Structure formats: C-alpha cells, structure tokens
Amino acid sequence: MRFSKTAALAGMAGLASAQTYTSCNPTTNSSCPSDTGLNKASYSVDFTAGESSDWTLSSSSASYSSSTGAALTITESGNAPTLISNFYIFFGRVSVLMRASPGTGIVSSIVLESDDLDEIDWEWIGGEDDQVQTDYFGKGNTTAYDRGTVDNLSSGTQSTFRNYTLVWTETQTEWYIDGSLLRTLTYAEALNGKNYPQTPMQIKVGSWAGGDSSNAEGTIEWAGGETDYSDGPFTMYVKSIEIENYNPGSSYTYGDETGDYSSIVVSDASSDDSSSSSAATTATTATTKTKTTSTSTVAKSTATSGTTGSSTDSSSSSSNTTSSSNGTSTTTTSSSASATVNVSGASTLGKASVWAVSALLAVAAFNL
Ligand SMILES: *[C@@H]1O[C@H](CO)[C@@H](O)[C@H](O)[C@H]1NC(C)=O
Ligand SMILES: *[C@@H]1O[C@H](CO)[C@@H](O)[C@H](O)[C@H]1NC(C)=O
Ligand SMILES: *[C@@H]1O[C@H](CO)[C@@H](O)[C@H](O)[C@H]1NC(C)=O
Ligand SMILES: *[C@@H]1O[C@H](CO)[C@@H](O)[C@H](O)[C@H]1NC(C)=O
Ligand SMILES: *[C@@H]1O[C@H](CO)[C@@H](O)[C@H](O)[C@H]1NC(C)=O
Ligand SMILES: *[C@@H]1O[C@H](CO)[C@@H](O)[C@H](O)[C@H]1NC(C)=O
Ligand SMILES: *[C@@H]1O[C@H](CO)[C@@H](O)[C@H](O)[C@H]1NC(C)=O
C-alpha cells in the first residue's frame, strides 16, 4: 500500500474523544462484577436481517432494512444512536461493514472500551467524506500526544459500505480498511504498555453530534463545525459485524487492580446455569453446553506456549488463551455480569464524554 506519510505534526489543534464512562472501574475497586464474555471464538451479526438481541441500542431508535442494515439516525439534539454489544471480548478481531454519517459536526464511530477505560477508536467526521481518524487510550489516560491520526482516503466513507477492521492482540493493534493496513500500534509504543489497551472490551458502534451547539468550542471545532439539525436527518448505516474473540469465555474478571492483561481471569461457562440466560448468552449457546467450569488466566510469560487448562473444551478450539494457571475455581455465575453494562450511560458516546484536549495529529494520506 502506498501512502505519503507527511507526518506533519501540523501543530493542529485536534481533539481526542474518550468514552469516560464506566459503572465500576476495576483498577480502583476490587469488587467490580465480572464482565459477560463472548463465549465463542467466532461471531457475526447481520443487521440486514433485522435487530439482534446481542446488541443494545442506546438513545434514540434505529431502523433496519434488508439492503442497508441498521440505520442509526440523528434527527435532533441529544440523539446518539449506538449499538452496544451485550458481551465483552478479550483480544480479537472486529470487522464492521458500515457507511459513515454525513452532516457537519456529526461523528460516526466504532469504539472498543473496557471497564477501566482502555479504548480503541475509529472516527469519521461528517463533513469529511474521505477521511478517517484512529485513536486509542489506556486506563482512561487522555493526555494526548500523537495518539490520534487523521487519514485522507482516496475514496469516500459515506456512500459505500467499507470494511473497518481492528486486529487487537496483546502485542499490537492494527487498523485495516477493506483489508489494507492503515495503522499499527505496538504495546511498546504505547508508553511501554502503560497506555496500551489490554483489558476486555465492549463494542460500541454509533453516531453523535460533536457539533451540537451546547458542546465545548474545541469539540465543535474538531467535529468540523456546528451541526444544523435542519440539514438532517443524518444517518450512519451498519450492515454487519464480524468478531473473533481470541480468548472466549463466559466471563472476564480482573484478578487485581493493575489493569494488566495478565491479571484477567477468563472463565468458561457452566452448561446448565439457567440464570445466565441473560443477553450475552444468546450469543454463546453454541459453545456453552460442552464446557465445564474451568478457569484460566492469561499469563504474559507463557503467551506462546500451548494451551493447557481448557484442553478438554473442544468447542473453542481456536482459543489461544495459553493458560498457565487454572487453579482459581471461582464459579462465576455469568449472569450478574451484565450489570456492568449501563445502557443509559451509553449515551455518553455523546457530548458528555468528549474531552476537549488538544492533540497533535499525525496526518497521513493513504491510498485507500
Ligand atoms: C465497588 O464496586 C461495588 C460493586 O459494583 C460497589 O458496590 C461498591 O460501592 C464499589 N465501591 C466503591 C468504593 O466505589
Ligand atoms: C499518560 O500518558 C502520557 C503520555 O501520553 C504519559 O506521559 C503519562 O505519564 C501517562 N500518565 C499515567 C498516569 O500513566
Ligand atoms: C473485513 O476485512 C477483514 C480483514 O481486514 C476480513 O478478515 C473480513 O473477512 C472482512 N469482512 C468482510 C465482511 O468483508
Ligand atoms: C490468537 O489466535 C488468533 C486466531 O484465533 C490469531 O489470529 C492471533 O494472532 C493469536 N494471537 C496470539 C497473540 O497468538
Ligand atoms: C487445570 O484444570 C484441570 C481441569 O479443570 C485440572 O485437571 C488440572 O489439574 C488443572 N491444572 C492446574 C495446573 O491447576
Ligand atoms: C447509568 O448512567 C447514567 C448516565 O450516566 C447515570 O445517570 C446512572 O446513574 C447510571 N446508572 C447506574 C446504575 O450506574
Ligand atoms: C487531507 O485533506 C484535507 C482537506 O480535507 C487537507 O486540508 C489536508 O491537507 C489533507 N492532508 C494530506 C496529508 O493530504
């Protein structure tokens, strides 16, 4: 792929957005409930077939069509339609086939976010059809240097469905557009891991009005100007989402307050825990039956060795959990974990969560 990286740290006053909302931060509270995990290695949802119970729509409504999938529409101030996964994943691939929303000040985004505010982002500014932004945060640290990028693409993002893919592992995160690599972030680059996103993430796909007149001036500027709702409605389309979860599990528990991936305990589902039939398990029914309540820990030191703990679990064969210690038999009832998902709080994808921090944005022109 050709690109001219005019790494023009243009002194450009940009803005990095972070979703700052968490109902319980495990790095400051050791009693946070576990996260409901996606208990299979591979998952996909096709919104051209209609809505999915694996996803919760926050704020406003969505409509569905067989040709364009989920239509997330902003018609007035305060709208921030967002599809939020009812489950978390722990390293993996997330591919979203979508069309960004047009509209001055309208921001479309794909956000992966964890309970301790690790975050990986894609963002599109409605006034810039052929641009995409990427960003990341670790543990809610929004001190911005050159984390955010703005890329000019050779074709638009609003009128055609394009495939935005994140490949997220403990060693690096990659952003792809239609299979072409746009950006790689390594663990080391992210302040030697301190700012590296590495804890179980929920997936949030939606749009909000950064240009709403009630927002901070810096936010409106970053979003490309003030939104005029009379130009609307403004619609983002999400056709489908494919997910690979590299560490499938019924739940994820922070083993300590470090927020380090090696502290995350991955629990398998027990087969007949009927109380766990909350939202996320609808995504996991295929795999839960054969599982026992083995528990494993992802250990940094053994990341390349073979799996040990869950070798009896035939259903999640592609898991590279590489568990080193499966001792802790915390029989995590996977049910209550969904309590960590504050659905109403999810509208924080909107203005409340945007931090008007200035960033130096590395600008690159990509041939995508
Ligand atoms: C820690 O989390 C638990 C469970 O959500 C909650 O009940 C408790 O109030 C929290 N403690 C603090 C100090 O926030
Ligand atoms: C937050 O990140 C910045 C770099 O972006 C770093 O200088 C700072 O030390 C970090 N703060 C913490 C508390 O890790
Ligand atoms: C999206 O791209 C990824 C690779 O970047 C690929 O694995 C995946 O199959 C693609 N999905 C669709 C729906 O095209
Ligand atoms: C984990 O497994 C997936 C395939 O399931 C693979 O693509 C990925 O590279 C693996 N990650 C590591 C760190 O081994
Ligand atoms: C891991 O769990 C399996 C079954 O749950 C058990 O047989 C094995 O001894 C455990 N290994 C360790 C190291 O605890
Ligand atoms: C959820 O988030 C909303 C909005 O931020 C907040 O008002 C509400 O108290 C939260 N609910 C819980 C249960 O944390
Ligand atoms: C990207 O496009 C904008 C206009 O939308 C332009 O101002 C900027 O110079 C372009 N950046 C590069 C690196 O081509």
28: number of CA atoms within 13 Å, CB side?
A: 9
The one-digit pLDDT tens for each residue of the chain (368 residues) are 222 222 222 222 233 344 457 899 999 999 999 999 999 999 999 999 999 999 999 877 899 999 999 999 999 999 999 999 999 999 999 999 999 999 999 999 999 999 999 999 999 999 999 999 999 999 999 886 679 999 999 999 999 999 999 999 999 999 999 999 999 999 999 999 999 999 999 999 999 999 999 999 999 999 999 999 999 999 999 999 999 999 999 999 999 999 999 999 999 844 334 333 333 333 333 333 323 333 333 333 222 222 222 222 222 222 233 232 222 222 222 222 222 222 222 223 332 233 322 222 333 334 45
> Which pair of structure tokens corresponds to residue 165?
């893919």
Which of ligand 4's atoms lies nearest the C-alpha of 322? 14
Residue 367 CB less than 6 A away from ligand 7 = no
Question: 3-state DSSP call for residue 14?
Answer: coil
Judge contact between 239 and 69, C-beta under 8 A.
yes
**Which among 96, 94, 88, 361 is positioned nearest to 206, based on CA atoms?**
96
Measured in angstroms, how far is the CA atom of residue 341 from the centroid of ligand 6? Answer: 10
Question: 3-state DSSP call for residue 171?
Answer: coil
Residues recognised as catalytic: 119, 123
H-run or E-run covering 165: strand 162-168
Q: Where are the chain's structural domains?
A: 3-20+40-245+350-366, 251-340
C-alpha span between 252 and 198 (Å, rounded): 12
Which of ligand 6's atoms lies nearest the C-alpha of 23? 14
- Fold classified for 3-20+40-245+350-366: Jelly Rolls (2.60.120)
Residue 151 CB less than 6 A away from ligand 7 = no
C-alpha span between 80 and 77 (Å, rounded): 9
Q: Which are the contacts of 29, defined by CB distance < 8 A and separation ≥ 6?
A: none
Minimal-distance CA residue to ligand 6 atom 13: 342
Judge contact between 116 and 256, C-beta under 8 A.
no
Which of ligand 7's atoms lies nearest the C-alpha of 130? 5
